[in-house]
Chain A
Amino acid sequence: MKDTTASPARAATRWLGILFFVTCTVLATLWFLGGAGWQPTEASSPAESKPANAEQVARGSYLARVGNCAHCHTASGGAAYAGGRAIDTPFGQIVSTNITPDRMAGIGGWNAQDFWLAMHHGMAKDGRALYPAFPYTSFTRISRADSDALFAYLQSVPASTTLRQPHDLRWPYSTQLALRVWRALYFKPAPAIATAPESEEEKGAYLVQGLGHCMECHSARNALGALSSSGKGGYVLPGSQWFAPSLGDRSQGSVADWSLPETVAFLQTGTNGKALASGPMAEVVLHGTQYLSDSDARAMAQYLKALPLQTPATVAGSSTPVTPVTPDATSNAKGATLYADHCASCHGDHGEGQAGAYPALAGNRAVTLANSNNLVLTVLGGGFAPATHGNPRPFGMPPFMLKLSDADIAAVLSYIRSAWGNAAAPVSEFDVNTPRRAQAR
C-alpha cells in the first residue's frame, strides 16, 4: 500500500530537491570540464624560461602586429598594450586588459607558460576562465614557439600602470560559472603544436584560423555567441553594426574570384581595384595585415581563395538569388536626383567610379550585398580607405549623416542598388535607422 500521507506539497519539495541536486551535479561537472585542460601535465612542467633572445622578440613583434593585438589592448589615446578599450558583445561590454610587463597592472608576473595557458587554453594565471572576446577560440591554434615569441615581445614593451577596468556584463554572463558552462559546451583546445607549419598551404590555414582570428568576425555565431561550427555565414558586429561578410559566399566576401595578386594586395594595401577595406576591416588592414610578409600574405590569400563555397540557399540571412526588385517610380526618381546632387561628382554619372580614387558602384559586390549595413554606415559616416604603404594617401568620402535624412539615404541607396545592372533589394528607412543609431552612440 502506498504512503497516502505524502502531501502533494511534500512531493513537490522532493522533486525540487532532486532537481537542485541534479543541477548542482551538472554545473559542477561543467565547471570542471570548462576549466579542464589547463592544469594537467603541462602546468606542472616547469616553464623552461630561457631568456628571450632578440630574434624571438623580433618574431613576437611581427606576430603581435599581424595579429593586431594592440588594437583591442590599447584604449583610444592610451599607452600601447595597456588595455582599457571596451569591446561590445551581445552580453555587455568587455574591457580589454593591460598586457604590458607591469607586475601589478599587467602581465609582468607571468612566465611563458602562464601566457601559453591563456593563448592555448583561455585560462588566466590566477585560474580565472577568460572571456572569449579575447579570441583564444582562434589563438588556441598558435604554436608554442609563436606563443613564446609573442610573450617575449610583450615583456619588452614599456610597462604601464593602468589598472584593469571592470567589465560591464549582464547577469548571468558576468559569472565564472556561466563562462565555465560556455567553455564546456563550445571550447576545445586545439592539438598543441611546437612550431608553426612551413608548407604554404598549412601556413595559410594556420594564420587565418589562428593568429589572424579572421573567423571571429567573418563567421556567424549562435545565440550564446559561439562561432558556428561550419564557420559559415556572415556576422553583424554587435555595437557598430558593421557586417562582416562570409568568406565562403560568392555574393558576400569570398575571394575565390579574385586573382592571387588581387587578394594579396587587399590584405597588404586595403585596396585592389575591386574592393576597398572599410569599417573594422580598414582597421585590420591599417594596424595588422599591411605588415604581412609577402610569403605570409600569399599563404593566407591561397587559403582564403580555396575556402569551400556555400551554396547561397544554405546561408542564413545571405543574398539568396535576388529577384530584381523595381523600386517604386517616385522613390526611384528621388533617388536618382539625390545621386546626381551628392554622389555623381565622384562616383560618376553611371556609377563607373574613378580608377584609383573612387570605387565604381555599378557591379560592386559591396553595393549589392543583401545586408545593407555597410553601405548605410559608409554614407552616414564617410571615411577613407586605410592609409597603407601601398595606398598612402587615400581619397576621402564626406559624411552625409547631417545632410541626408533616413528617407533620403534609403532612396539614394535603393536607386544605386537597382541602377546600371545592379539588382539588389531596396533599402528601407528602417534599414538606415538602425545603423544610424549605432553610429550616434
Chain B
Amino acid sequence: MNSVIRFALSLWFFWGLHSLALAAPKFEDTMAQRTLACTACHGEQGKAGPDGYYPRLAGKPAGYLHHQLQNFREGRRHYPLMQGLIDTLDDAYLQAIATHFSSLSVPYPAPKPSTASAALLEQGRLLATQGRAESGIPACTQCHGKELMGVNPDTPGLLGLPADYLNAQLGGWRTGQRHAVSPDCMAKIAKLLGESDVNAVAQWLSSQAVPANAHPADKKPAATSATIEMQCGSAP
C-alpha cells in the first residue's frame, strides 16, 4: 500500500515538474508568438490600460480587424503607439494578423451590472434593437447582426465590451477622431445620436451577456420595412 502511495506521490511530483517546465515561456514559431506585441496590451480578452481600454481581438471578424489595422496605419484612427507599432507592416501581414486573431475563441466574462437607470437602459435597448426611424437612425442589429455579435467578414460585434470603450468610440466618430473608409456610415449615425443616446446605447450594450458559443453571423439580417439604407465603405 505504502509503495502505491509513494508511486502516486512521485508521479504527482514529476507531473508537477513537467507543468512547471511548460509554464516557463518557450519559444514557438507561431502567430501567437509573432503577435506578442499585440497581446502585451490587449490581453486575451481585452483589458484596461493606463490610458484607456484595449479591446479584445479574439473572435472578431477578420475583415473588420484588417480594416482597423489599416485605419491606424493610415491615420483614420488615432493612437500614436498603435500606429508606430504597425508602421512597418504590409497589407499581407496585417491580413495574416487579423485572420489569426479572428480564428481565436476565448470565453467572454460576465457583463458588469450597469449602474444606469432603468429608463436610460430602455432608451439604449430601443435604439439598439429598433433604431429611431424619425431621426434616420437604424437599429444596431440591422448591420451588427440579430445577436449583435457582428457579421462576417467586416462588421464587428458590439457585446462583451465595456461602456467606457463604446462611449469613447461613438464619441470619437461624433468628433471626427475616429474614421472609417468613406462613405463612413458610423460617423453619420453617431452624429445623428443625441448626447444621452450615446451613453444609453453604450450602457445597454455593455450590460448584455454574451450568448454561449457566440460567433459573428454569416450574413446580415434580411431587410425589412424598418431597414434604413446605409452606405458603408468599410462593409460594402
User: Which residue numbers of A lie inside 8 Å of B, CB to CB?
Assistant: 75-77, 282-283, 286, 345-346, 354, 356-357, 381-387, 392-399, 401-402, 439-440
Contact A398 B36 (CB under 8 A): yes
Contact B81 A399 (CB under 8 A): yes
> Is residue B38 within 8 Å, beta carbon to beta carbon, of the partner chain?
yes
Contact A381 B85 (CB under 8 A): yes
What's the dominant secondary structure at chain A's contact region?
A: loop
Total chain B interface residues with beta-carbon distance under 8 A: 31
A346-B36, A382-B37, A399-B41 known, 17 other contacts, Cβ within 8 Å: A76-B73, A77-B75, A77-B76, A282-B88, A283-B87, A286-B90, A346-B27, A356-B29, A382-B84, A383-B88, A384-B86, A385-B88, A387-B88, A387-B89, A387-B93, A392-B93, A402-B51
- Separation of A45 and B51 alpha carbons in the complex (Å): 62
Q: Which residues of B contact A392 (CB under 8 A)?
A: 92-93
Q: Which residues of B contact A386 (CB under 8 A)?
A: 88-89
> Is residue B113 within 8 Å, beta carbon to beta carbon, of the partner chain?
no
- Separation of A387 and B27 alpha carbons in the complex (Å): 20
5 closest pairs, A vs B, by CB? A396-B37, A398-B40, A77-B74, A76-B75, A345-B25
- Separation of A420 and B36 alpha carbons in the complex (Å): 25
> Is residue B49 within 8 Å, beta carbon to beta carbon, of the partner chain?
yes
> Is residue B35 within 8 Å, beta carbon to beta carbon, of the partner chain?
yes
A400 shortest CB reach to chain B, Å: 9
Contact A383 B76 (CB under 8 A): no
> Is residue B33 within 8 Å, beta carbon to beta carbon, of the partner chain?
yes
Chain B residue at minimum C-beta to C-beta distance from A75? B75
A75 shortest CB reach to chain B, Å: 8
Q: Which residues of B contact A393 (CB under 8 A)?
A: 31, 34, 93, 96
Residues of B37-51 contacting chain A, CB below 8 A? 37-38, 40-41, 49-51
Contact B49 A398 (CB under 8 A): no
Known A76-B74, A345-B25; judge A383-B37 contact (CB<8 A): yes
Q: Which residues of A contact B35 (CB under 8 A)?
A: 396
B99 shortest CB reach to chain A, Å: 12
The contact string, 1 if C-beta is below 8 Å from chain A, for chain B 127-171, is 000000000000000000000000000000000000000000000
